Amino acid sequence: MDERELANHVLEIVDQTAYRISARRILAVHLAVGGRRVFDLNRLRDTFRKCALGTVAEGAALFVKVLPVRHRCQGCGNNFEAFNRECPCPECGHPHTEMIGGEELRVLDMELDDDAA
């Protein structure tokens, strides 16, 4: 999923939520993205800004938290979090671990403009 697809997906969620709660203007969107997703944060923010033109999120700030990736050790079965793709198990030092998860994309929160009429 590239930056445009991410931005459009987030805007779809924001738009549906704003409609459901009768929000007229969104000031900020807080997003959590799994660490396995490959994207350029500046390009995502710029694309979000452009895609949001003419929507309730026009001018909204986009805050992104990159989540660590869960790993499972192939030696001892230990599950742990790490930001690197390849890392040894912190319990047994085994060099072979597999990534589990890391593809999450969640809208955590939206800041609303209470004064929008």
pLDDT, residue 85, reads 74
Mean pLDDT of the chain: 92
Residues of the chain scoring pLDDT < 70: 1, 116-117
Count other Cβ atoms within 10 Å, centred on residue 112.
Answer: 17
C-alpha pair distances (Å), 95 with each of 44, 88, 108: 33, 4, 34
At 5-35, the pLDDT tens digits run: 999 999 999 999 999 999 999 999 999 998 8
Domain boundaries, the chain: 3-69+103-112
pLDDT, residue 55, reads 96
Tell me the CATH number for domain 3-69+103-112. 3.30.2320.50
Return the closest-CA partner of residue 91 out of 82, 83, 103: 82
